[in-house]
Amino acid sequence: MNADIRANPALDSPYFDLAGHIGSRAYCMDNIYHDGPDDTATLLDVGVQALLPTPIPAPPNRTPKGPTFDIRQSEGKRGLGMFAAQNIPAGGLIVVERPVLVVPYIIAIQTYTESELYAALLGRLSPDTVARFLVLSNCKPASECDAVEGIMRTNAIGITLEVPDGPHPELPTHRAIFLNVSRCNHSCGPNAVWHWDATSFSLSLEALRPIEAGQEITVAYITPTHSRAERRARLKMMYNFSCRCEFCARPAIAVSKSDAMRAELRAFWDAVPSFEAWCLDARMPDHALIDAHKRAILLIEAEGLQTLDYGKHLDAIAMGYGALQDVEQFRAWMWHARDARPVGRDDAARVMQKWINDPESFPVWGWRKSLQRRRKD
């Protein structure tokens, strides 16, 4: 287990020591707030529990207009899925939800089984919440674990909590169950993504691109830039299904092309120069950085991978045109970058609108030309 934890970049614990981790843990089982249906049962390290804000503030008030989704049978899949109840624009908020159960990534308790701990946590929730939990999908065979533990392993979403400093600290990543968002099925070209806000203890699900009413809302369970064969193998191992999403169901020749495009996206940030390096290097063509990010956008749109820093590529193109003092292109791409922001993020939109109205107020306006001029001087 030490090797697995140390090698997992998402956990960011290269010196993890299981024996020390177990010996340093003390847990508290609690309901961290009580606002009716939002009640959450938690098993947390006492140090993590002490760092939670008291009281936990309400989630940001970005409630979408009207019902945005319904839960129903997903055609061709074993269980239920989440479907759009109205047209949802790119960046549109689908739901803000708090978890019903939260546990550490590794539960370092040897006196109770995980099933016993999960049963105790469920005992702290309302009968209606427990009933909704128990009908979540379970991809694990009975020979591996019981139903409750299988539901946790199948549906838990990784969230990050603040942890105290010290020897053998708790892992920031925790497992959380969300009764609605946990219903989202997987796609290798997802049309939605979730964002965790530890301050309000809430998860926001947002559209990555326009979703039409009746269309299934999907997320990515795994890193989607691997080849189809690798993705299918990982999904089979972790969730016991063979992916047949529209991106995996392509003919073999299209899959080969898709694999190559995803590999290019996976390597993009290691291959592209930084904005500062491009500004300073007169040997690079003026549009080298811009063209690289435009290429990434074409690949992302072809593969439905707006989850891969789509907004950052738009920002980089706008910045590039700003550094070149190209007013027309700067305004056009800054519009694209502004429109790609999640709906309701008014502060960012206002700042970007100011730059569109007055390009010379953009912080890096003319940088490529001015920095190169300074180097010559």
CATH of the domain at 150: 2.170.270.10
Domain encompassing residue 279: 255-376
Angle, CA 156 vertex, CA 69 and CA 309 arms, to 5°: 70
Name which residue leads in pLDDT, 314 or 7.
314
On average, the pLDDT of the chain sits at 91
Per-residue pLDDT band for 36 (boundaries 50, 70, 90) equals low
Structure tokens that stand for 322 in this block: 């700003």
Based on the domain organization, do 202 and 259 belong to the same domain?
no
Based on the domain organization, do 52 and 194 belong to the same domain?
yes
pLDDT of residue 34: 57
Dist. CA 222–CA 156, nearest whole Å: 13
Q: How many domains is the chain built from? A: 2
Stretch 222-251: mean pLDDT: 94
Q: Is residue 325 part of a domain?
A: yes
pLDDT at 342 over 90: no
Based on the domain organization, do 201 and 265 belong to the same domain?
no
Dist. CA 10–CA 94, nearest whole Å: 25
pLDDT at 65 over 80: no
Based on the domain organization, do 100 and 221 belong to the same domain?
yes
Name which residue leads in pLDDT, 87 or 36.
87
Based on the domain organization, do 29 and 129 belong to the same domain?
yes
Determine contact, residues 182/69, Cβ cutoff 8 Å.
no
Based on the domain organization, do 232 and 261 belong to the same domain?
no
Based on the domain organization, do 42 and 114 belong to the same domain?
yes
Based on the domain organization, do 153 and 292 belong to the same domain?
no
Based on the domain organization, do 88 and 169 belong to the same domain?
yes
Which stretch, 21-25, 65-69, 181-185, has highest mean pLDDT?
Answer: 181-185
pLDDT of residue 63: 67
Stretch 71-86: mean pLDDT: 89
Q: What's the order of all strands across the beta sheet hosting 157-160?
A: 27-31, 41-45, 101-104, 173-177, 157-160
pLDDT at 249 over 80: yes
Stretch 155-163: mean pLDDT: 96
pLDDT of residue 151: 96
Strand pairing category for 101-104 and 80-84: unpaired
